[in-house]
């Protein structure tokens, strides 16, 4: 599909630049032109679909950097519990999931995301083969890391079986349409033993992929690592020789100076989930410190059972506010830095040239159009400020992924949203009936 999209503002988060009266020209799946409407190369060509958003703000498509996407089916299922209790409840429910459940849960999550401007996600969960089918059908981008552990795992009764599932998913789906990539997902150091972590890391190196895991989410977890191994979790990952394969480390709430140094040394992406961490009561990753330590931070929602929403605009707003309160300093974590966490910082989660988060020429055409013609976004003084403090997912009027429109003015172009919602409700009703009966 070839497109010409005019907007009142174009925002380039990498540089922080805002361009007034801008134009994006898309040819195939690439941005062929990005700049002023009258610039060289900006001419509309025969066959291009043309859209003009008079009060539209065009930004790169958002990336949700840490999800458990079929957990849409468990939205609101376990509330007001500390993490360990919450996990025990969730792990009692998940064994009752069947493969098709994960497919419909993933479809529901994808619908929620594309309607709120998210073009890609970085997932760690069970039944990745079914999630992959949903990604393939809907046109979104994803890195899927099949969960490798067996507490509550509905598709594996041993580590060996879970690991084999992950390898099979990688063989089948890695590189699909240059939108879907497969990593490995050992759940966490406290659920995966040393020898298995090392075996998974060796396989990741052999297949030239990476690891997505949970690190340092709770003080309890850190204390257990110190008792069991005499070192903290990130230090343990280096000590056993696997940190070089960890591309995605979710949470990283409780870190020592040594761990900041290791995350920087090994170029580990920290997947920051502020709302989820707040809800579970685990604290917050210190993103001002992470940025100061030159560690890349990507923003995420986590699963819907610990957040309830896959809304990256709400996540940006929360992230922009919490550290100002904690530090008692309104200058920390600027709007520009927060938008980068949800866009261009996520480029390193994907293979090269799959996603840039920049709106620049010759990059993948992944973008979102926001309509600022609303009471809640008037007056328009600083569109970037609005991204963190005024805009919501209700302002999304178009989501484009790889040059294709997947969501427009409330319409889902790659999925039947009514059927998805009906199937998801039916599955959740069954899960509740089954678990209550037990």
H or E stretch at 406: strand 404-408
Burial of 381 (0-12, 13-18, 19+ CB in 10 A): exposed
186-211 burial code (b ≥16 CB/10 A, e <16) = bbbbbbbeeebbebbbebbeeeebbb
412/141 Cα distance (integer angstroms)? 16
Do both 171 and 41 map to the same domain? no
Asked if pLDDT for residue 52 goes beyond 70, the answer is: yes
Q: Please choose, from the candidates 164, 117, 63, 180, the residue with its C-alpha nearest in 3D space to the C-alpha of residue 396.
A: 117
Structure tokens at 46: 């025969």
Do both 196 and 47 map to the same domain? no
For the beta carbon of residue 50, count every other beta carbon within 10 angstroms: 9
Structure tokens at 299: 């923003």
Where residue 35 sits, what CATH number does that domain have? Answer: 2.30.40.10
List, edge to edge, every strand of the sheet that includes 297-299. Answer: 211-215, 246-251, 269-272, 297-299
Do both 29 and 145 map to the same domain? no
pLDDT of residue 438: 45
Share above pLDDT 90 across residues of the chain, in percent, rounded to a whole number: 85
Q: Is residue 228 part of a domain?
A: yes
Burial of 357 (0-12, 13-18, 19+ CB in 10 A): buried
What value does the mean pLDDT take over residues 369-386? 95
Do both 315 and 196 map to the same domain? yes
pLDDT of residue 46: 64
For the chain, the domain total comes to 2
Whose tokens are 């707003």? That residue is 317
Do both 333 and 392 map to the same domain? no
Q: Please choose, from the candidates 347, 348, 340, the residue with its C-alpha nearest in 3D space to the C-alpha of residue 384.
A: 340
User: What are the residues facing 63 on neighbouring strands?
Assistant: 120
pLDDT of residue 83: 65
Q: What is the pLDDT of residues 91-100, one digit of tens each?
A: 777 788 899 9
Q: What is the pLDDT of residues 318-350, one digit of tens each?
A: 999 999 999 999 999 999 999 999 999 999 999
Residues present in the chain in total: 438
In eight-state DSSP terms, residue 175 is: T
pLDDT of residue 94: 77
Q: What is the dihedral of CA 49, 54, 59, 60, to 10 degrees?
A: 0
Do both 52 and 100 map to the same domain? no
Q: Please choose, from the candidates 359, 402, 370, 404, the residue with its C-alpha nearest in 3D space to the C-alpha of residue 49.
A: 404
Whose tokens are 């005024």? That residue is 390
Last residue of a domain, one of 327, 349, 371: 349
pLDDT of residue 42: 84
Per-residue pLDDT band at 386 (split at 50, 70, 90): very high
Mention every residue, 6+ apart, whose C-beta is less than 8 A from residue 228. Answer: none
Per-residue pLDDT band at 45 (split at 50, 70, 90): confident
pLDDT of residue 237: 98
What value does the mean pLDDT take over residues 337-366? 98
Q: What is the pLDDT of residues 247-300, one digit of tens each?
A: 999 999 999 999 999 999 999 999 999 999 998 889 999 999 999 999 999 999
Q: Is residue 283 part of a domain?
A: yes
Per-residue pLDDT band at 38 (split at 50, 70, 90): confident
pLDDT of residue 80: 65
Do both 132 and 277 map to the same domain? yes
Q: Please choose, from the candidates 282, 283, 249, the residue with its C-alpha nearest in 3D space to the C-alpha of residue 268.
A: 249
In this structure, what are the phi and psi dihedrals at residue 177, rounded to the nearest 5 degrees?
A: 55, 20
Per-residue pLDDT band at 437 (split at 50, 70, 90): very low
Q: Is residue 108 part of a domain?
A: yes
Asked if pLDDT for residue 429 goes beyond 70, the answer is: yes
- Mean residue pLDDT of the chain comes to 94
Q: How far is CA 169 from the centre of its chain?
A: 20
Q: Please choose, from the candidates 38, 40, 217, the residue with its C-alpha nearest in 3D space to the C-alpha of residue 124.
A: 217
pLDDT of residue 135: 98
Mention every residue, 6+ apart, whose C-beta is less than 8 A from residue 144. Answer: 123, 124, 125, 128, 131, 132, 135, 169, 173, 180, 181, 182, 183
Whose tokens are 């976004």? That residue is 377
Do both 55 and 70 map to the same domain? no
Rg of the chain's alpha carbons, rounded to an integer?
21
Q: Is residue 131 part of a domain?
A: yes
Do both 139 and 217 map to the same domain? yes
Do both 35 and 9 map to the same domain? yes
Mention every residue, 6+ apart, whose C-beta is less than 8 A from residue 50. Answer: 3, 4, 6, 44
Helices and strands counted in the chain (H then E): 14, 17
Whose tokens are 């098709």? That residue is 100
Do both 49 and 96 map to the same domain? no
Q: Is residue 292 part of a domain?
A: yes
Where residue 152 sits, what CATH number does that domain have? Answer: 3.20.20.140
Asked if pLDDT for residue 354 goes beyond 80, the answer is: yes
User: What are the residues facing 142 on neighbouring strands?
Assistant: 121, 180
Structure tokens at 141: 């981008």
Q: Is residue 438 part of a domain?
A: no
Do both 47 and 68 map to the same domain? no
pLDDT of residue 81: 65
Q: Which domain holds residue 94?
A: 62-349
Asked if pLDDT for residue 49 goes beyond 70, the answer is: yes
């Amino acid at each position: 599909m070839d497109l010409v999209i005019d907007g009142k503002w174009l925002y380039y988060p990498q540089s922080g630049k805002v361009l007034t009266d801008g134009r994006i020209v898309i040819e195939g799946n690439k941005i062929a032109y990005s700049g002023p409407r009258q610039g060289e190369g900006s001419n509309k060509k025969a066959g291009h679909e043309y859209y003009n958003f008079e009060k539209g703000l065009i930004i790169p498509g958002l990336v949700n950097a840490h999800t458990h996407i079929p957990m849409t089916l468990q939205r609101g299922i376990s509330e007001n519990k500390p993490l360990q209790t919450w996990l025990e409840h969730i792990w009692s429910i998940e064994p009752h999931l069947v493969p098709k459940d994960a497919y419909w849960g993933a479809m529901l999550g994808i619908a929620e995301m594309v309607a709120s401007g998210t073009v890609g996600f970085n997932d760690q969960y069970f039944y990745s083969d079914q999630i992959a089918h949903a990604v393939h059908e809907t046109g979104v981008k994803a890195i899927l890391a099949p969960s490798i552990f067996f507490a509550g795992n509905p598709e594996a009764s041993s580590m060996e079986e879970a690991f084999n599932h992950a390898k099979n998913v990688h063989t089948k789906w890695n590189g699909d349409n240059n939108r879907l990539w497969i990593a490995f997902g050992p759940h966490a150091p406290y659920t995966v033993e040393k020898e298995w972590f090392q075996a998974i890391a060796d396989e990741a190196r052999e297949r030239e992929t990476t690891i997505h895991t949970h690190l340092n989410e709770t003080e309890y977890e850190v204390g257990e690592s110190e008792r069991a191994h005499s070192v903290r979790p990130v230090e343990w990952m280096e000590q056993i020789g696997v940190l070089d394969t960890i591309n995605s480390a979710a949470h990283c709430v409780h870190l020592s100076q040594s761990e900041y140094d290791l995350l920087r040394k090994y170029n580990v992406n920290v997947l920051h989930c502020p709302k989820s961490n707040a809800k579970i009561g685990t604290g917050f990753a210190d993103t001002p410190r992470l940025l100061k330590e030159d560690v890349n931070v990507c923003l995420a929602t986590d699963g819907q059972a610990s957040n309830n929403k896959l809304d990256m605009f709400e996540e940006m707003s929360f992230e922009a506010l919490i550290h100002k309160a904690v530090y008692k300093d309104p200058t920390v974590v600027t709007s520009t830095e927060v938008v980068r966490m949800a866009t261009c910082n996520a480029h390193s989660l994907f293979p090269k040239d799959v996603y840039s988060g920049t709106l620049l020429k010759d990059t993948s055409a992944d973008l979102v159009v926001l309509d600022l013609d609303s009471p809640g976004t008037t007056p328009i003084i600083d569109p970037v400020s609005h991204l963190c403090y005024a805009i919501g997912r209700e302002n999304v009027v178009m989501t484009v992924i790889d040059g294709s429109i997947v969501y427009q003015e409330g319409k889902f172009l790659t999925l039947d949203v009514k059927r998805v919602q009906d199937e998801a409700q039916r599955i959740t009703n069954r899960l509740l009936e089954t678990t209550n009966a037990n």
